[in-house]
Structure 1
């Protein structure tokens, strides 16, 4: 459920929460983000501290298992429950800690944000210290994450909290749910036209012969190139659209560099979410079509290699590795095609891109309201 727009008389925290709900955390004043850094990072730090302790328990259980196998021999089948070391108990503890880590993080986050600022900051500091220290204190220092890993994790939590990464993740999750409910019109409009061109590629012998020879590293490299082109195309076209909007409806207060980046990021991520969901749909479509329309005999003739030499079936499913690679390639190509349509097709832009630009305008209005609220509060 979208967060309602705050009224002019709303409190400053209401305006800040509204900006975060719009995916614009960098619109919040840097001084506010610094002041709330510890309290807003408390939940993630606590969850990672619990998860790191669970990882240390699993590592210790693995050490005990290795020592037991060295004593009894690698060919034996020892009873882990009867072992003098708590192998199974540590493994169960690791599973339990991993399971409750998100709950602990949620509870600590709620407590820190509802408490007074000093208490929330103190709780955040304790959680951050726990992230760095607890996994090494609970078990030996060589178990679980290293000191360097926990220090880097703590630094990443602080940087991510300051830049509003958590708000962007929550906004992206809500955006995925929203796009899933509105995929129908886009699929009905884009998929039939795309299929006219892509179906010929799918039933082309050459693409099967190319994909059967590719190793998985080369396959992912090719997919990465197409994905990078998609991101580049979306980024450039979206930036141009937003610059046009800013010329027509320039904000009263000039945007900082971080605010400009955040403003461009929101429609870019929204468009990439659309492209990713569309590519997933195309992938499963071709995977199913290949399973139905391309029997093993046909694939063998196209690839000029026996099925056993092309990677065989995938995890026992009636889908060959070559079919999987072909479907992946056509899926990312379809995402690139969708991004090109968003940049060049006027009808597609009016139906699917224009609402995102309207959200940018709404975000600018929310920023202006937030700045007016700050001036009224003298901050």
Structure 2
């Protein structure tokens, strides 16, 4: 490969990494594919599960109230090791960093989008918040059941996104062609090479396409998390101001309200019942917002208008990257 082409390829690979697109670099994508297509990935997962189970059993034996702590330790160890494995091999951390940086760098653009969904969302969840049946269900849940419900909402939201986001990636792939390809490379390391060589829009490999879907997923997930945390704070403040303890006792049919566990109660001046209802409804609102985001055409067009330029750049730069001469 000529020196200029080698330098351009190196700069493009750095650009991919900086934009949360590690799978667009051939060497890394090939390495991940080798891992995922071999039996050793199964062996690694089995090993991680064995370590998590062993850790959970050990804690359960040697700690007071060991069953709950054992389950927590086992699940935390499993998720932590899987996260470390995914972050190191699959480079999820690179994608997540880009999504965080982009989301917080464009908060001003996010608020107009959220205002489309917030009025109806607040109307629905505020009605649920002052509903006695919701308090009887959410406030009386065990903490394990509560977090299981939150996880269930998160899984459903992720499934909705994984169904719809690939459609946006395929649409961008179809649109980046002809003169538009060189225009999309402006401002990237591939800009000069796009004018010097003939780059046809290559079909993205499956890992590159998955990479784009993942960065979109992370970007949307961070928005949903910000919205959920904001609604949690709203419910806590609204509940403290408007719902007295006597009303909570009447709704939940308990003898008294309960303080948060000491580890949390020291920092959050609210009852356990209010905390659980606020968490439950905030996570439900996150699911509602996710479904709204992928089904409302106006919201989707506005949301992807901000991302389409970056998606088009990724597809165009990849076309130039794979078209660079590789021979000496």
Deviations 1:325-377 (A, max 9, x none): 1111111121112212221212111211332243222210121122234x2x5
Displacement of 1:171 in angstroms is: 1.2
Q: Find out whether 1:20 has 2:12 as its counterpart.
A: no
User: Relative contact order, CA 8 A, sep 6+: which one is greater?
Assistant: 2
State whether residues 342 and 353 of structure 1, in contact with CA within 8 Å, keep that contact through their aligned partners in structure 2.
no
TM-score (norm 1): 0.59
The whole-number CA distance in structure 2 between the counterparts of 1:329 and 1:292 is 19
Long gaps (5+) in structure 2:
32-76, 178-199
Q: Secondary structure in 2 aligned to 1:254?
A: coil
1:332 aligned residue (273, 276, 283): 283
Is 1:356 the counterpart of 2:283? The answer is: no
Secondary structure, aligned partner of 1:253 = coil
| 2:206 matched residue in structure 1 | 257
Task: Specify every segment of 5 or more residues in structure 1 that has no aligned partner in the other structure, as ranges.
Answer: 1-6, 35-148
User: Which residue, 131, 135, 138 being the options, matches 1:208?
Assistant: 135
The aligned residue for residue 105 of structure 1 is none
Aligned match of 1:278: 227
Query: Aligned partners of 2:261, 2:95: CA distance in 1, in Å?
Result: 41
Greater radius of gyration (CA): 1
| Aligned position for 1:143 | none
- 1:360-379 matches, within 5 Å, as 360-373=311-324, 375=325, 377-378=326-327
RMSD (Å), alpha carbons? 3.0
User: What is the number of residues matched between the two proteins?
Assistant: 252
Report the CA distance between 1:164 and its aligned residue: 3.0
- In the TM superposition, residue 253 of structure 1 has moved relative to its aligned partner by 2.1
For the residues of structure 2 that align with 1:266 and 1:367, how far apart are their CA atoms? 16
Alignment of 1:1-379 (within 5 A): 11-30=8-27, 160-249=87-176, 252-308=201-257, 315-316=265-266, 317-373=268-324, 375=325, 377-378=326-327
Judge conservation of contact 1:202–1:326 (CA < 8 Å) in 2: yes
Aligned to 1:86: none
The normalised TM-score by structure 2 is 0.68
- 2:185 aligned residue: none
Q: Offset of 1:173 from its aligned partner?
A: 3.0
Q: Does structure 2 conserve the Cα–Cα contact (< 8 Å) formed by 1:160 and 1:166? A: yes
